[in-house]
Amino acid sequence: MLLNTRHFGEIEIDESKIINFKEGIPGFEDLKKFVVLYDGDETSPFRWLQCVDDGQLAFAVVNPFMIVNDYNIEIPEEIVSSLNIESIEDVMVLSIVVVPDDVSKMTMNLKAPVIINTKNNTGMQVVLDTDMYSVRHYIVEELRRREVNTGAGTNKEEK
């Protein structure tokens, strides 16, 4: 299907890749269908979570494990059963990113990751019952601290 999007213009969406968020995303509870897109660079930790119900809505998202080495979460049992997760290998975890005008201050939400079962294409944003992780975790600071090679075209020499 063709989808008219805010960020990418008109794009072709592979309907078999559509992920169903039966509860929507907090703040956007009525929007249920999303796809994960990437900017032509699969090795980058960044992706877009593009809404299919409303092409104007897309979240920048990031693979949290590529930013925070020791990010360690336990998917609650009710989520495992609600998403029908059978194998951890089917699970994709994404953190929603807030990009302010000053890009160096961008943050990721580690407290409420988006959990996707890629086997049956269902997903949910899960609020973790822990005080270990913040809703606003600074990304650039984290990368500098850990010197993670993000594979996002980052050239360490240029820093």
Partner 1 sequence: MLVLTRKRNESIIINDNIEITVVDVQGEQVRIGINAPKSVSVYRKEIYLEIQAENKKAAEVKSIDLKDILK
Residues that bind partner 1 (CB under 8 A): 6-7, 23, 25-28, 39-41, 44, 46-48, 57-60, 77-78, 81-82, 96-99, 103, 106, 109, 111-112, 125, 127, 135-136, 140, 143, 150, 152-155, 158
Taking the least distance from each CB to partner 1, the nearer of 51 and 91 is: 51
Within 59-152, residue ranges assigned H as helices are 77-82, 139-146
**Nearest alpha-carbon partner for 47 in 17, 90, 80:** 17
Interatomic CA distance for residues 106 and 36, integer angstroms: 20
Nearer to partner 1, 7 or 119 (CB): 7
Least distance from partner 1 to the Cβ atom of residue 153, Å: 6
**CB-wise, 32 or 111, nearer to partner 1?**
111
Residue type, 48: W
Residues 156 and 147: beta-carbon distance below 8 Å:
yes
Q: What angle do CA 17, 19, 20 make, to 5 degrees?
A: 145
Q: Which of 70, 77 has the CB closer to partner 1?
A: 77
Contact between 28 and 134 (Cβ < 8 Å): no
Instruction: Tell me the closest approach of the beta carbon of residue 92 to partner 1, in angstroms.
Output: 17
In angstroms, what is the minimal distance from the CB of 59 to partner 1? 5
